[in-house]
Structures are given as structure tokens and as C-alpha cells.
Structure 1
């Protein structure tokens, strides 16, 4: 709760209480003063990016108006209507308090590792690629990268806000525009993280294991800050790429802002207006695996514009972004402000990770880049298609939100046994479900966006509708626990009991997802039919790798 929140809540409570105490000496003065304070606190909070205080300002104004009307009626010999006015004011105050309570301002959960966390932003420029997405012809590709790392912050240093003031005016508001309400996340400028800006690298840090991360479509680099801080507190260097144009407005360290690509905005608005194409719905909601496979093989090339934007335009751009960033980091071609952190990072074997569309990108990276040593996909599909019906060459952790929510999001009734949208990805169809290093799991009672930090910023019951009804400690705790243990096991080589330890801890909320039914269905097909389908799969791979 901000200071303005506290003053607003106290003043509104006092105003409503005094209003109900008809015989209180000096009642009108108390109500007027409390309402004026409510009005001022609410307006200040709204100015200070805390839009949730605006209803409180309105309630304070209504209280003053009701007070004036009551005095006006008495002056003309008319009887006031305290019951009606009290009910209306009570409703206004309740709405104002609900806005403050439902959207709390609490610092992020503290990471549990032994090290403090530093955080730095820097820009990388790919001059070989020009005119990408919304960029003008000849303009190079500019990317924001944020790194979290183990640090030794100076005494008295203060962690950064979730969004600094400039990001609240650009990145946060741009993301809010996608959701239909620009100020939606701007108030997170009041939420504290545990990352210390530009803090010195921890002394004797050694060679830091590296994780590279991509956010979801239209998202931003810090969308999973809680997870990043936890990894860094356990000794990792985590580099998050913000994919300019396909991201919320990207504020670069120079102060320049790379806007969201108008093509992305058109795509998102059209998708909301028209709904999903029927072919896409069949591809991911049909229970019949033959229908599902046929539709998924056709999706990439048959969905019309602008619904195909992610597949045709964004997928190759994001893959190229990730490979460029990795190459630049490994070569040390970075600004001096992050040179020491980059020099201490081990880029020959890294963990690749992403959320949503970023998870698809991470999967594509591991199909083409031998530096990938372990892959984490946080509820992302396969929009690059190179991992389709193909063995991912490294260990995989696939964390799904509750699959029932996915069906409902697509406007379909969930079947008794919901199927994953990645049933055909990351393993050969004749052997899917047999590799012990491929871990697929489902987080019960969670929704897609619940696998970001956003579930921490809304209270129930609204949170249940947007992010899932699983407890907040579970929504963040499951990815934290499984991802850290997965990378510790496969990237660091630790014998840590993964994943049995994590399943025991979260057994009430997490279930393994088994793709054995896909294998049995595939192997039951006549050889000629399998060969024909395999040819279609090979054609899809060729299309996915061709320049677009």
C-alpha cells in the first residue's frame, strides 16, 4: 500500500463513519475535511501512476456533493435523505476501497538463494539486420537485454522498482493498451524488486552458468522477474531479451523508445474481433489425434493474414534475435557497463528458456544451436515447427498451465482428459513419452498468464479469473522450484533428486503429463500411412527452415 493509499483509505472510512453519525458535533465539518483529504489523496495517487486511487477521489468528490446537496435541501426546508445518500456513498466508498485492495502494492517475494542480486540493462545492435518489423529501411535491429546476476551491492543500496518511472510511462502503458486499459500496470512502479541496479558483480563469482530468456508475445523482459531473481540468487547469470516491436514499448538505456509494431497491434485487435480461425481451434482442441495432427500440419501455411503474423513474421525474427544476442555475448561485444558480468558468464553451454511465445523461441533455438544444454518452456506452444515430431537434442522441462483453461480460452469445452497443444512436439512420434530427460507437467488451477509475475499483483477473486485459483505461493513457487532444480541438475550436473523432490513438495498441484497415448496411436497406424504423414512433417520442417 502506498502512502496515498493509506491516507485515502483512512479518510474515506472517516468520511463514511461521520456521515452515518447524524448527531456527531461538527459532523459536516468532519465529513467535509475527510472528503477533501480523500479527494486530494486520490488525485495525487492517480497522478503518481496509482490509477486505483482515482475511484477514491471520485468517492471523496461525491461525498462533498452529497454534503452540499443536503445543506441545500435543509436551507429550502426540505427533508434530507440520509438513508439514500448513505447507501450511495457507501457504494462509492466500497468501490474505491475494492480498487485499492484488489490491486495491492507489495514488494516481490524475496529470492531464497545465498547471494544478493544485481540487475543491469544494456542495448545490443544487430547491424546485419535492418528494417525489421516496424524499423525504417536501413535501420538496424536494436534490442534491450536485461541481466540478473549474483552481486555485492553497496551498503545502503536500494533495489530497483518493477518498472522505473520512465518504463511506467512507456513499457507498462503500452502493455496496458494491448489489454484495453493503458494505465493497467503502471502502478507497478511502486512495487519493489530485489535486484540492485548496476551492483558490483559478486567477488570471486567464478564462471557463472547462463540462462537466456524470451518473454511472451507483446510482453517485456521483466515479466518473470521473480524467477530471474531466484536463479541469480543461486549463482546464475540470466539474460532476458526484449524483442523490440513484438514487445511492449522498449525503453533503451539511452532513453530512446522502440514502439510496439503497428502490425502486432492490428494482429491482436483482429484476433480479439474475429476470434481464432476454425483451423487453429481444430488443431488444438480436437480429441481425435488424426484430425488434430492434420490441422497442426496445415496451420502454418493455411491461416490467413493477419492471424498468421506470429508464424510468418515473428517466429524467424525472435529466433534470429536470440542467436544474435548469444553470439554478441559470447564474443564480448557488449557495452562497458556490463563487460564484467559478461566476462564472468559461461556461454559455451547455456540454458534456454522462454514464456509463451518465448518458450516456442527457446525450443527452436535448441534445434539449431549446439550451445543449448537444457530447455525450459513455460506454457509456450510450438510456433517455429522445427521441434515438431522431432527429438529435442537436450533435456526439456515443459510446464503447462491447467490445460482445461487452455480449452476454455479457445472457446471449447474441455474433455475428460485434456490434451496438450505440444503433444506432437519435442519428441519423435514413435518414441514420445519414453525419454527420461523430457519432463512435461501441468500446474493445476492456473491460467496461462499465471506463469508470469502478474498473479502477484491482483488479489482474489479477480486473480482467479485472470491467472488461476491456485494459491499465489503455488503460482510462483512451482516454476521457481522446478526451473531452478532442472537447471541445477542438467546444466550444473548436480545430483539433487530432480524432479521427485519437487513433485513431493507440490504433489497436490502438479501432475506429470504423459504423451504415451500419442505414441500408441502413431505405432498403430499402417506403415504406409505413417510414411505419408512423415513426408508431410518433413515438408513442414523444410518450410520452417526456409527464409521468410
Structure 2
């Protein structure tokens, strides 16, 4: 009998190896498909599962109404059509009297387009499933209530800060949430969705270093527009009649905001001689207020590791620039200043995104810290109310004095010498 050629003897062995590789590959692919299917199923369940925003901690029920206002004194430099008057959507949360008013929807009508990427898919909680605490057009509670203007972060809209707004309204404030037209990814005017423009949300503001060249110029320009929006809204709320007549204390408005809105709040307060104080929630500073400082009370709340208080581990050029800018503002400011850091938070923990479901890739993209989202918003709300009670109503506040520190997540930062 003749012997087989060596290559012939090897052929069955390689076939066995190839079959094993194919079997393992198919098993891995099957596992991946099953895992992906399971995750999609999980996301579908979470997408429709009801989520309730943190309950307000104040004594008043909360009412909500909306306005579309035009500022006839300003031509909008951000509009795609030259000569367009500046128009703004303003949501008003206010102390309400008990009534049979209907519970408000979170983001009704065209506001539903605020879903991440404007696509209401499975990546986050359906807005229809988000429960709020305000009542549509409820009667106003008895009393007179100070005005607080709330500004969102760059690209965001005021109703995406409903949790903070409802809490302040429950403590006896008229909270006017302003959505900056053509800067927000979406606002709604007269029932129609209006999107951002390049002028309103300039690409330069998305570069790594926000304090140089085109970014600094774009930031300073936009801060001036947002500050004017805030002051216009405060004035229009002060003049409201009908059911609000006799309920408005317009003597000393306050301004608060998140991210870019926080910076614009400081600038609005600088320009408003009646301003009682301003709050910046984790906003990198821009505008003239950085150089002139603020002579009214100011509170800065930073996310974990943020440099907006001028106190952080500055390890790169961006953080060193943030520290320098913050210290310039703080050194120039002569009003009382309080600085805090919310442990476990990241930049978007100050928005409603902290409260509802986001798929893991979206959570990482947005920047949400490990702190429980509802807890972070509740603690932030308590400190906002304490700041306003102290600066607007001249009430003693143990939280601000340091005599009380019941929330271990909120750390006082010694930001001024």
C-alpha cells in the first residue's frame, strides 16, 4: 500500500479547526444578538415606565403657564432674517392656590421635539411618561411673590429645568424660565418649533478652550443677548395683570442659570440695579461681569472637579484658563459670595436629565455623575431656596452661614480670601 502525501494527511485536521472556529464565531454572534435584543427590550420597558420629578419641598402647590413675548425694542441679531424683533418663550411657575386645575404635561405639543437628538426613540424616558407637580393655569396663591428669572444651559430650553423651577415656586417665587431663541436646539413660539442658528449657537463655543480668540468673542456677544433676555422677562413678569395682579413683588428680582445661563445670570444681575442676587450653576464665565465683578450677592455651584469656583486641580490648559477666569471674577466682586461643589455630580446633573432614564451611551455622552439624580436636584433646590430666602427676603439661613450642613453631598468651597 502506498503512503498518503503529507498535505493530504493534514487536510482533515484543518477542516476540524475551521469548523470549531465557525462554531465559536456563531456562538459569540448569537450571544451578542441575544444580549442586544435583551437590552432593546429593557430600553423599551424603561422608555415607557413613568418617572416623577423630585417633589417640591416648599409649602405651596405649583401653577404653570406659558407666554410668547416680543421685545419691540430689540432687533434679533441671531435670527436668520434681518430685522426680526426678538421673540421669546417664557414659562412661568408660581405659587398656586389649591384648585381643581389639571396636572400639567411635562413637555406638551411641539416641545416634545426636545428629545435627545430630536428623536423620541428608546434611548430615554418618553416625555409622556414624565410626571411633574405643576397645575396648568391654576389660580395664584394669596400673597406677593418675588421674581426669579431662570436661564438654561447652551442649547437647552427652560422647561428642561422643571424640577428646580417647581421647587422654587413651591417656596413662594415667581420663576420665569426663558428659552433663548435661536440658541436653544429647540424652542416653541406660537405653537411652532424654532431651531438654533449658527449665529445663536456658534461653533466657536464648542472648541476646547473657551477663553481665547473667536470663542471668547462669541461668548461675550451671546452673554449680552441672554442678559437682555433675562431682564426683559423680569420686566414683563413685573407688569403682568389679570390673575397675577397684586401678587407680584418686583422690587428685587434674582437671576439664576445653569452653564452658559449661569454666566448670563451674573451679567443680568450686574446690569439690573434692582437685582437682589444671582446664581451660576457650573457655568464657565464670560462677559464684562468677569472683569468688573458683581457687587450683589452671588452663589456659584460647581459639579465635581469643575473649576468654575476657581478652586480645583488644574491639570491642563483648559482648566487653568477656567481657574484664571473664575478668580478674576471673584477678586473683582464685592458682594457676598458663596461657593459649593456637588459631590458625585457632573455638568448635566443640574438639569432634568438627572431624573429620568437615559441609555448608558447617552448618559456617558451627556455627562451625568454617579450621584442619585433626584437627590442631586433636591439638594441643589434646597440651596437655591436658601440663597434666595436670604438675599431676596433677608431671612437668616443656617445653610449659608455654615451653622447647618445636613447634606453631605454639598461641600462648601472657600473661593474668596
Pick the TM interval, shorter chain: 0.7 to 0.9
- Equivalent-residue separation in structure 1 for 2:126 and 2:325 (angstroms): 34
1:485 matches 2:386: yes
Match of 1:219 in 2: 156
1:139 and 1:439, CA in 2 relative to 1: closer, same or farther beyond 3 A? same
Structure 1 segment 164-179 matched on structure 2, within 5 A: 164-169=108-113, 172-173=114-115, 176=117
Cα distance change on mapping 1:503 and 1:378 into 2, 3 Å: farther
Displacement of 1:500 after TM fit?
A: 4.9
Deviations 1:62-112 (A, max 9, x none): xxxxxxxxxxxxxxxxxxxx9789746632332213424665540212212
1:341 and 2:244 matched? yes
Query: Counterpart of 1:108?
Result: 53
Measure, in 1, the Cα distance between the counterparts of 2:353 and 2:150: 17
Task: Kindly indicate whether structure 1 or structure 2 has the higher relative contact order, using CA contacts under 8 Å at least 6 residues apart.
Answer: 2
Query: Partners in 2 of 1:86 and 1:392 — Cα distance?
Result: 61
2:196 pairs with 1:232: no
1:425 to 1:503, Cα distance in 2 relative to 1, 3 A? farther
Alpha-carbon distance in structure 2 between the residues aligned to 1:215 and 1:231: 15
CA contact (8 A) 1:405 1:447 kept: no
Alpha carbons of structure 1 residues 131 and 367: separation in structure 2 relative to 1, 3 Å: closer
Alignment of 1:2-81 (within 5 A): none
Shift of 1:241: 1.1
Map Cα deviations across residues 131-151 of structure 1 (whole Å, 9 max, x no partner). 431252232111111110111
1:451 aligns to 2:350 (yes or no): yes
1:459 Cα deviation after fit: 6.0
Shift in Å, 1:382: 1.9
Q: Which residue of 1 aligns with 2:37?
A: 93
Write the deviation string for residues 112-144 of structure 1: whole angstroms up to 9, x where unpaired: 222211000001111121243125223211111
Unpaired segments ≥5 residues, structure 2: 1-25
How many Å separate the matches in 2 of 1:456 and 1:354? 18
Find 2:107's aligned residue among 163, 170, 175.
163
Alignment partner, residue 208 of structure 2: 276
Return closer, same or farther for 1:216/1:191 CA change in 2, 3 Å cut-off. same
CA-CA distance at 1:186 after TM superposition: 8.0
Residue 376 of structure 2 aligns to a residue whose secondary structure is helix
Deviations 1:246-302 (A, max 9, x none): 1132212x323333123345x34x666xx424xx4xxxxxxxxxxxxxxx6xx3xxx
Of the three residues 128, 133, 150, the one matched with 1:194 is: 133
User: How far apart, CA to CA, are the structure 2 residues paired with 1:486 and 1:440?
Assistant: 11
Q: Distance in 2 between matches of 1:123 and 1:102?
A: 34
Matches within 5 A, 1:351-500: 351-388=254-291, 390-403=292-305, 412=316, 419=323, 422-428=326-332, 437-458=336-357, 463=363, 466-500=367-401
Deviation of 1:189 after TM superposition, in Å, equals 3.1
The separation in 2 between residues aligned to 1:511 and 1:439, in whole angstroms, is: 11
**Following the alignment from structure 1 to structure 2, what is the Cα–Cα distance between the partners of residues 487 and 351?**
8
Asked if 1:260 is matched to 2:173, the reply is: no
1:499 is paired with a residue of what secondary structure?
A: helix
- Cα separation, 1, equivalents of 2:27 and 2:302: 51
| Secondary structure class of the residue paired with 1:485 | helix
The C-alpha deviation readout for 1:486-544, integer Å capped at 9, x for no partner, is 1112211222313256962123x22222235xx6xxxxxxxxxxxxxxxxxxxxxxxxx
The whole-number CA distance in structure 2 between the counterparts of 1:421 and 1:107 is 38
Q: Once the two structures are superposed, what CA deviation does each residue of 1:211-264 show, in whole Å capped at 9, x if it has no partner? A: 111111111011211111111112111111111111132212x32333312334
Contact 2:109 2:191 in 1 (8 A): no
What RMSD over aligned residues (CA atoms) do the two structures have, in Å? 3.4
Partner of 1:219: helix, strand, or coil?
coil
CA gap of 1:404–1:251, structure 2 versus 1, over 3 A, is closer
- The number of equivalent residue pairs is 385
User: Match of 2:227, SS?
Assistant: helix
Relative to the length of structure 2, the TM-score reads: 0.81
Give the helix-richer structure, 1 or 2.
1
In 2 relative to 1, CA 444–186 (structure 1 residues): closer, same or farther, beyond 3 Å?
closer
Residue pair 2:110, 2:193 contacting (<8 A) in 1 also? no
Q: 1:131 to 1:358 in 2, by over 3 A?
A: closer
- Pick from 500, 507, 510 the counterpart of residue 410 of structure 2: 510
CA change 1:88–1:375 in 2 (3 A) is closer
